Amino acid sequence: MELRPYQWEVIAPALEGKNIIIWLPTGAGKTRAAAYVAKRHLETVNGAKVVVLVNRVHLVTQHREEFSRMLDGRWAITTLSGDMGPRPGFGHLARRNDLLICTAELLQMALSSPEEEEHVELNAFSLLVVDECHHTHKDTVYNVILSRYLEQKLRRTQPLPQVLGLTASPGTGKATKLDGAIDHILQLCANLDTWRIMSPQTYRPQLQEHNHRPCKQYDLCHRRSPDPFADMLKRLMEQVHDRLEMPELSRDFGTQTYEQQVVELSKTAAEGGLLQQRVYALHLRRYNDALLIHDTVRAVDALTTLRDFYLKERATKTQVLYAERWLLALFDDHESELALLATHGPENPKLEKLERILQKQFGSPGSPRGIIFTRTRQSAHSLLLWLQQQPGLQTVDIRAQLLIGAGNSSQSPHMTQRDQQEVIRKFRGGTLNLLVATSVAEEGLDIPQCNVVVRYGLLTNEISMVQARGRARANESVYSFVATQGSRELRREQTNEALEMLMERAVAAVQQMDQAEYQAKIRDLQREAVVRRVVQAAQRESQQQQFLAEHVQLLCINCMVAVGHGSDLRKVEGTHHINVNPNFSIYYNVSDKPVVMDRVFKDWMPGGAINCKNCGEHWGLQMIYKSLKLPVLKVRSMLLQTPRGRIQAKKWSRVPFLVTDFNYGEYCAQNLSDLSLD
């Protein structure tokens, strides 16, 4: 497999063993260039071992195909991802293979694992390839791994792997001025211990010849006017606000800013023991979600989400507060009118614009293939339903399917990782010709025939813009941005175009720096980063020692009933928090049907969902761990009553007391002792 001249140019320092970032546009062959570096590394370095890190499960399979073609069967390759089910340990596979391709989370778990079969050290590898390396910042899993690298580097631990980063979009790190963007690029280079960020200079014309940007078009529309359905939802929200008696609250309904406000209100109400106020805030968020869905897709889709919410409330809640009864009645009293307005109101102008784009692109000769990007899983589902039902699209050859995130969520539907792989396979083969996708498809997805990309009413940063645009790989591709005239989304997209140019200027400035000055800056940034992590670790440890675990009560977030203490909690696999007190079972019910999850775990499988026996609030799920049935709790389902007041934690890792690891043998000895015979 021959490389193009611009690819040879950018990999030259890597072939000499230097750490670099390859910065090439999407579709210009970064993965092929990296595969060649890996091949030469395996050929020339004694005891070489390569690990390729990706940030999306579906990229594991895609990268295996590219690396396998390059390595031509001469070296043992294996892949690891979260959907594999039972498998040998990471460490075992690393010892048996020459090249591993895996999600970054699995390497991080292996680095931390105490089990010999699973554990691996970073210096077991001689080359570390980091795909989409612009994610190596702050507390991302990429940066956690690379922070280990930097700590070992500063301790002069030898040997360390060579690092090869790949990106099309380093970004600006929220900077809007050149100095700030340069600082961001330098920090990225420091995090990846980069000798130089490489892009074609001599062979730049050949790159431009091979790499065609899609033709960008702004497809803008007016707002719905009149909009009786949205007006009705806002009147209902006004009534809820009147009940709250909090005139200081903003009534900027149907915005993400308003959503943040009511989320914060529900948190402070819970901490203050204000049950009714918390319920009003939770229901206001659902109405706001409905307004956002209505703005994105159809009124009937917005009404469906509200109906589903209230059906679930009735089905699960066993203790109903006065505020909840009033809110249920409010919706019931207006549901028929909302249904009438949803079915007889004006069409969404954005959907009308999208319909014309699809009719033009998919009604023309050829074999078009496209992706529509939207913000949420819910809007993706609604758009697919619209595609299937819209009369004007029934005569057009559109074969569409979803491509959304694999993470489980109680609020929105999801796909399993196997579902994702199957959809991508069908899209690549042409069985499907249109994907309705969330950001899961933005990065790395390589479909050479894709020639239509629509960003549908999105409010994102410049990295997402560059990545989504890059999915249009075919010649004479179209990239459409659909939005309302004068909207925040339109202003943000125009800002992103300016930020992309700023990013290019910042990278050029870093490339032109004097090498000695550059290296000095990188060393300083690396020392600062290591010190910062040490300080943060000390702060976390201090935070976890604010209170003794037995002095913190666990309360149901909804009904405030005390159900246990912090000392009842244990950690399984470092992340899942279970309550090991045998008396805890009197406080919850377990559903008959097991929770469906998109992956198979090594030592456990999911049982039923668990809900508060007193009020019906969803708490988490039952874990069947080596035949033991243990309740796993969501942190947001519990309120913590500390000696200094109540708090609602966002993550279990941020609770103000220490949670120890689960000891299987100790638990069995303590809780199964009554089965022994005297």
**Residue with structure tokens 């996708």?**
437
Residue 26 · residue 471 · CB < 8 Å: yes
Q: 130 - beta bridge partners? A: 53, 165
Question: Can you tell me the distance from the alpha carbon of 609 to that of 595, in angstroms, rounded to the nearest whole number?
Answer: 6
* 3-state secondary structure at position 220: strand
* Average pLDDT score, the chain: 94
- Distances in whole angstroms, Cα of residue 313 to Cα of each of 155, 469, 528, 561: 56, 41, 50, 19
- The Cα–Cα gap between 596 and 581 comes to 26
DSSP secondary structure letters along 322-335: HHHHHHHHHHHHHH
How much is the pLDDT for 677?
A: 41
Whose CA is closest to 604, among 634, 583, 629, 586?
629
Tell the residue number behind the tokens 């803008």, with chain if given: 220
Return the pLDDT at 676: 45
The vertex-609 CA angle with 83 and 663, nearest 5°, equals 70
Residue entry with tokens 């007391």: 657
Q: How far apart are CA 635 and CA 652, in angstroms?
A: 6
pLDDT number for residue 84: 64
Q: Which two tokens stand for residue 200?
A: 């074609």
Residues of the chain with pLDDT under 70: 1, 83-86, 407-414, 598-599, 672-678
What CA–CA distance (Å, rounded) separates 70 from 88? 26
**77-80 and 604-612 beta bridge pairing:** unpaired
What pLDDT was estimated at residue 365? 84
Q: What does the H/E/C string look like for 27-60?
A: CCCHHHHHHHHHHHHHHHCCCCCEEEEECCCHHH
Q: How many angstroms separate the CA atoms of 665 and 663, rounded?
A: 6
pLDDT of residue 673: 59
Predicted local confidence at residue 157, as pLDDT? 78
111 Rama class: left (phi>0) / alpha (psi -120 to 50) / beta: alpha
Q: Which helix (H) or strand (E) holds 125?
A: none
DSSP string across 432-465:
--EEEE-GGGTSS---TT--EEEEES----HHHH
